[in-house]
A and B are shown apart, each in its own frame.
Chain A
Amino acid sequence: MPEPLIVASQLVKRFGDFTAVDGIDVEVQRGEAFGFLGPNGAGKSSTMRMIGCVSPVTAGTLRLFGLDAATHGAQIRRRLGVVPQLDTLDTEITVQENLWLYGRYFDLPRAEAKRRAAELLEFAQLTDRADSIVDNLSGGMKRRLSIARSLINEPELLLLDEPTTGLDPQARHVLWDRLYRLKQQGVTLVLTTHYMDEAEQLCDRLVVMDQGRIVAEGSPRSLIEQYSTREVLELRFAAGTNEAAAPQLGGIGERQELLPDRVLVYAADGEAALAEAHARGLQPESALVRRSSLEDVFLLLTGRTLAD
């Protein structure tokens, strides 16, 4: 079996006294869509910057394409596409100039860079904005341009740091569709997100990170099966009474979780759990039964919600 595309072992990143990444082990296979999931400050972006060979590894080893990131940064970067968390588009030049000039950084001949730029404009649905100055684009368009630009060197591995943060739902779906197409073309995707639905949509496999460490690993489905129940009952009681109501739910379902604004009951059968709560005389203002999500996995593993 060939060496995985990314092999990180005991990877550490420190900034002075602060440890951003605290000894993680990750392997990503070619063609996989792999996610780093976690709240802000979990160490996802630091990990991505190390994988992108723009941030030196403090300790441990990191290999991409069988090359050592510490010594072969330029050769590795030649084969990567990077979509950073904050757009680094060139705002003084046009959309198509952003694409072909970026191709020049990879030593593409000018004609080839322009040919690919035209193709990528199609892919990003920006052909009619080809001559617009980047400053005048919407947030969703800029994000699509960032992704298009990252593809100019036909990368084998695409790194996306929070690809849809700050976008409206429609723009997110357009972007997911584009990323899905890339995956079908065989591009390996590595992304960070703190959106559960994004991770569930895009990732074959993911790791949950918290405070610089990996706390769980698996496919979205297997993580949910392993760490949560099939369904979740969400109960909202009158303002300020959630805390008083929670103990009275004891024994219903497998587990209860008190959040500031609601109480969660983890149960295989949510409706049955709700009936049981009603039978005990509890009168929530609202009740919702839903399927378990990665949000619940995260809550169980870290004791915190992703918004914290």
Chain B
Amino acid sequence: MTTLLRIIPARFVVRRPQRMIERHVVAYRRQWLIIVSGFFEPLFYLLSMRAGLGSLVGDVSVAGKAVPYDAFVAPALMASSAMNGAIFDSTGNVLHRMKYARIYDAALATPMSPADVAVGEISWALLRGQLYAGSFLGVMAALGLVQSWWVFMALPACALVGLTFAGIGFAATTYMRGWSDLEIVTTATMPLFLFSATFFPASSYGSWGWVVQISPLYHGVALVRAANTGVWTASVLAHVAVLLAVSIAALALAAKRLDVLLRK
């Protein structure tokens, strides 16, 4: 163990990330409304798509299978809700805890490591995204938008989306100077939400389709959509690989930055 500790820098040692989650569970017991509110945005989108656009657009082809427009959009909104939950927690809330409430300073004066804090915070954000994705799945089922039993695989897919965006959000937040920088987050997530093959298939972008593939959300949407239709192709592995790679890189960067920022 001691030799291992010498090889891995102390900031990457993860022993008790669950302590951060425990703190948030206690803190949010009194603020559960804030958490619940995040569920409604994608729900309203879905209802408006179903009531309005759906009747105009008709069916969309997914992997050779024709699906109604609302059933096409719903998995994308589910993935987006996982992204939003993870991003909201890992940016604004993390900024508050890091710079203003100084909760991490307090934690790092104990045996907690920067990696414990980073992993704990990212897991919490992921869980929050997962909560939204899970409730959204319930709504999809209630509205008859579930196409296949494979849809349960949409939950781990959303967990991966949550992990990716929680990691990116946390790492990005370590570079923020103050509240005004949060605007950049909104500016960045809006196009991701709109252009990740969310509302129309990637094929409709023509020769610009490769740009869409840069978006991590696009890979998440593709996974959730595959789960809902139950049609799995080899491309699924590529989507998983991209999301995993981005998550790991973001997590490592987050722990390193936290170390630099708080252990001066």
Given contacts A89-B106, A153-B110, 14 further A-B contacts (CB under 8 A): A54-B262, A54-B263, A55-B263, A73-B10, A80-B109, A84-B105, A88-B102, A88-B105, A90-B23, A90-B101, A91-B101, A92-B101, A101-B19, A102-B106
* B117 CB → nearest A CB, Å: 10
B176 at interface by CB-CB < 8 Å: no
CA distance A91 to B110 in the complex (A): 18
Name which of A33-41, A103-111, A196-204, A296-304 contacts chain B: A103-111
B10 adjacent to A101 (CB under 8 Å)? no
Q: List 7 A-B contacts (CB under 8 A).
A: A54-B109, A91-B101, A92-B31, A104-B22, A105-B19, A105-B110, A107-B16
B140 at the interface (CB under 8 A from A): no
Contact, CB under 8 Å: B22 / A90: no
Question: Within the assembled complex, what's the spacing in Å between the Cα atoms of A146 and B250?
Answer: 34
Q: Which 7 A-B pairs have the closest CB atoms?
A: A105-B110, A88-B106, A88-B102, A82-B109, A74-B111, A78-B111, A92-B27
Answer yes or no: A43 CB below 8 A from chain B CBs. Answer: no
Q: Which residues of A contact B102 (CB under 8 A)?
A: 86, 88
A-B contact count (CB 8 A): 70
| Bound CA–CA A52/B109 (angstroms) | 7
The answer to whether residues A105 and B103 also contact, given A15-B264, A56-B263 and a CB cut-off of 8 A, is no
Q: Using an 8 Å CB-CB cutoff, how does the interface string of A53-67 with B read, 1 for contact, 0 for none? A: 011100000000000
- Among B10, B101, B103, point to the contact of A74 (Cβ < 8 A): B10
| Cα separation A106 to B116 with both chains bound (whole Å) | 13
- Indicate if the CB atoms of B103 and A88 lie closer than 8 Å: yes
Q: In this assembly, does A77 line the interface, its C-beta being within 8 Å of a C-beta of chain B? A: yes
Q: Which residues of A contact B22 (CB under 8 A)?
A: 101, 104
Which single residue of chain B is at the shortest CB-CB distance from A98? Answer: B106
Does any Cβ of B come within 8 Å of A93's Cβ? yes
Q: Does A71 contact B (CB under 8 A)?
A: yes
**B65 proximal to A (CB < 8 A):** no
Q: How far is the CA of A134 from the CA of B13 in the complex (A)?
A: 31
A90 to B96, CA, bound (A): 11
B26 within 8 A of A: yes
- Contact across chains for B263 and A90 when beta carbons are under 8 A apart: no
Tell me whether A97 is interfacial, beta carbon within 8 Å: yes
**Which of B23, B101, B109, B263 sits near A101, CB closer than 8 Å?**
B23
Chain B 15-38, CB-CB to A under 8 Å as 1, else 0, gives: 010010011001100010000000
Could you tell me the distance in whole angstroms from the C-beta of B34 to the nearest C-beta in chain A? 11
Cα(A75)–Cα(B108), bound, Å? 12
A298 to B139 CA separation, bound complex (whole angstroms): 71
Q: Which of B5, B19, B111 contacts A77 (CB 8 A)?
A: B111
Q: Are B26 and A97 in contact (CB under 8 A)?
A: yes
Residue of A nearest to B259 (CB): A56
- Are A105 and B26 in contact, CB atoms less than 8 angstroms apart? no
Contacts of A114-163 to chain B: CB distance below 8 A: 153
Q: With the chains together, A84 CA to B107 CA distance in Å?
A: 12
A97 and B113 alpha carbons, distance in the complex (Å)? 21
Q: Which residues of A contact B6 (CB under 8 A)?
A: 71
User: In the bound complex, how far is the Cα of B19 from the Cα of A101, in angstroms?
Assistant: 8
**Taking the complex as formed, is B127 at the interface, i.e. its CB lies under 8 A from any CB of chain A?**
no
Knowing A88-B102, A90-B101, A92-B101, say if A105 contacts B107 (CB, 8 Å): yes
Nearest opposing residue in chain B for A110, CB measure: B22
Interface centre among A15, A105, A106 (most CB of B within 10 A): A105
User: In angstroms, how far is the closest chain A Cβ from the Cβ of B257?
Assistant: 16
Q: CA A78 – CA B103 in complex, angstroms?
A: 18
A252 to chain B, nearest CB (A): 49
**Is the beta-carbon distance between A74 and B23 smaller than 8 angstroms?**
no
A120 CB to nearest chain B CB (Å): 16
B157 at the interface (CB under 8 A from A): no
> In the bound complex, how far is the Cα of B172 from the Cα of A144, in angstroms?
36
Which chain B residue has the least Cβ–Cβ distance from A104?
B19
A107 to B6, CA, bound (A): 23
A52 to chain B: which residues have CB within 8 Å?
109
